[in-house]
Amino acid sequence: MEAEVLNALRDPAGLPMHPLVFLVLGVLTFALHIAAVQLMLGATGLTLWGSLSKDAHKRQLASTMLGVGKVMLSVAIVIGVAPLLFVQVIYDPFWYTSNLLSAWWVIGFIVILSVGYILMYAYYWMNGDLANPKQSVKCPGSLLASVVLLLVVGFIMHALTNQMLSPDLWMQWYAPEGKLDTSGTQLHSYNLWRFAFFISLSVPVTGAFLIAMRRFFRVRADADHAYLDWVGALGLKWVTFGGVISVIVAAFWMMGLEGKQAEFATSPWMLVSLVALLGFVAYATWVWNQQRDSMHSYMVLPVGAVALIIVAAAREALRWSVLVGQFGFDVMGYPLNIDWYSTLLFFITFAVLGGGVLSYLLTVAWQAGQTVGQYTPSATVVRMGHIALSLIVLWIVHFFAIGFYVWMQ
């Protein structure tokens, strides 16, 4: 497809801020989203593995990971909205067309996700005493079905993203052999190695979480050190094994690229991503061997986060190299209609509201997790909760106030 046609499909209203802002935010929010997805998949995988065992350590870990998995599923859904919106702002002609070509799957995405979400919570409700190895597990198939459906959801998003990268094939998909296909029932393009790469990262991400979790609970007076050491050792195995497997899968993904995309396999982006992933594995190994009882155990998580951000940036660079480099889409040529209000509102919501509420929740989770028996928050923590709640109420009032103001104009 000609570059002139693609550029003509850009939103004539332009962007409220420089496109570079949306590109950077897209990378950062995608990294947060995919980290939550990967931890959710790893946690539910450990839950399935441990719940089918009579080993006390495995069952205890399964119980803990079930809680982590259901929380991360909610986090992944909420955060996943942001990168999707940024893609729609920057690459709307491509994303919109891809969605139309597979409209049935776009609509089915919501249904499949909802069923998978409900099944995970159903398993959670039915197995309240999962840590007890004497207690039989009820309906393990519900959690397995949940994981399968969530993987299907991920695959749908992968296919839609992949279809964006082939505007030269859109007419062939829309009118094969000259006959219009408006059903929207087909997923036309996918790369199993690419999909497998992002799924495989769930192993090292979850391993990093296990290493940090061991350090977190080890300071408690009632800590079971034998169990926690077993958890930490398992975490290291997941980091090292999963990290190496992810690099291998990425290599197969790169070798399968064709045409203009094949040049990306030898780009600096791939080299930096490779170094970041292997550096993450090396750091986790050093921490476990030398600093497992220090604060370095917590640092495995932010180091892993940096590696994921670099991978997310490489993913965006690949998309840029195809849509901008190959097809001539002029991202930086968008007309600008600067809107400081909407831009500041986003950052204030993200930093002030999100930061305030998240700080309160993390403080409560941290203190409660390291308290033996019933946890009673201090006056300072209670005040943090009041401030967080007030910020939410203020944001809601502001939202409706602006809506009514615009409506009255």
Provide the token pair at 381.
């923590």
SS3 of 43, please? helix
Q: How far apart are CA 242 and CA 201, in angstroms?
A: 7
Q: How far apart are CA 112 and CA 142, in angstroms?
A: 14
pLDDT of residue 9: 84
Distances (CA, A) of 60 to 238, 257, 269: 18, 43, 41
Is 62 within 8 Å of 42 (Cβ atoms)?
no
pLDDT of residue 146: 97
pTM for the whole structure:
0.93
SS3 of 300, please? helix
Which regions in the chain score pLDDT beneath 70?
1
Residue ranges per domain, the chain?
3-338, 339-409
pLDDT of residue 1: 60
pLDDT of residue 27: 96
Chain centroid to CA 200: how far?
A: 13
DSSP characters over 105-170 = HHHHHHHHHHHHHHHHHHHHHH-TTTT-TTSPPP-HHHHHHHHHHHHHHHHHHHHHHHHHT-GGGH
pLDDT, tens digit, 9 for 90 and up, residues 144-196: 999 999 999 999 999 999 999 999 999 999 998 888 988 999 999 999 999 99
